Amino acid sequence: MLQRNMWLHISQLPEPIRKGLLDGPLPGLKRPPASATSASQSAPPPRPSQPPDDGAVSTCHCQEATGSHMAKPAQQRLFSEPPISGTRMFSFRLVYIFSYNLFQFCGHTWILANTIARFLTFGEDALADTFYSVGFVMSLCQLFSILELFHIADGIEKARLLPRFVQVMEKNLLLILVIMMDEMQSKLVVCVQFFLWNILDLLRYPHELLCVIDASYIALLWLRYTLWIPLYVLSVINEGVTIYQALSYAEPTESTHSHLSFILMVYMPVLALGASVTVWQLLMERQHHLDKRNKKIRKE
């Protein structure tokens, strides 16, 4: 009787839902024969009878509870959507940020090793063609560093956006300036600038790699947020010297450098202001990370 009543209710549902209920593994429900179905549909409605006793009422409640319990898995299967797991997205973000930091670390390691090897082999003569030997890889690394702004904005990397924006923009603008002016590519300040940039990035990217896998060390933490700040100040000073030397080659009378001297003169105070704000932000970031590390050590 219970199965016949359930079949009557199911036969009145729409075709997709009825098909899902009949095809799904619903325990205890079997398709009744066609004769029973037609007989049940053609049978007259039952006559009103006397109210059942307590035993019949309890039996009815048990049957209703059993029917609702049997129909619940099918309803959940039909009307509930599968939960969206964040494991795949988390794995993709983890692999992506790890691969990016590894790429930057390998690129700057190659630049620094090439520069030192050439200097030890050729001496001071290697400084003249430093840009020609490592300029392409340096330009590629600095171009990809623009992605770090999107990493911070998207939440993949936890850092302050303003100091990173100033660092990325000043490097790329100075690199474009050096590429535009052939006279500056063989200068000593360019070699020194590349050396300082590589030291700064080799202090930062190993720490970022370890943070991705939750394996930070106190020595790298100190190098990243303490030694990094004075090296960044030296890098900004050398950038100012580079721009000052470039002013002598950016004459307004030249067709290719007609507006470059004005851009350089405006860029120098902007660089000083941006570097000051960046150092202030870096000091705050250093205090935050060191305090966080000290609290973690005290809890352990």
Q: Which residues are the active-site residues?
A: 232, 239
Q: With CA atoms as reference, report the closest residue to 100 among 214, 234, 212.
A: 212
Under DSSP, the state recorded for 225 is I
Please state, in angstroms and rounded to a whole number, the distance separating the CA atoms of residues 233 and 240.
11
Please state, in angstroms and rounded to a whole number, the distance separating the CA atoms of residues 63 and 55.
12
Please state, in angstroms and rounded to a whole number, the distance separating the CA atoms of residues 215 and 144.
25
DSSP states along 15-59: HHHHHHHHHS--TT--PPPHHHHHHHHHSPPPPP-PPP-HHHHHH
Q: Say which residue the tokens 């899902």 belong to.
A: 20
Please state, in angstroms and rounded to a whole number, the distance separating the CA atoms of residues 11 and 54.
31
Q: Would you say 181 and 249 are in contact if contact means Cβ atoms under 8 Å apart? A: yes
- 3-class secondary-structure state, position 175: helix
Q: With CA atoms as reference, report the closest residue to 134 among 119, 123, 145.
A: 119
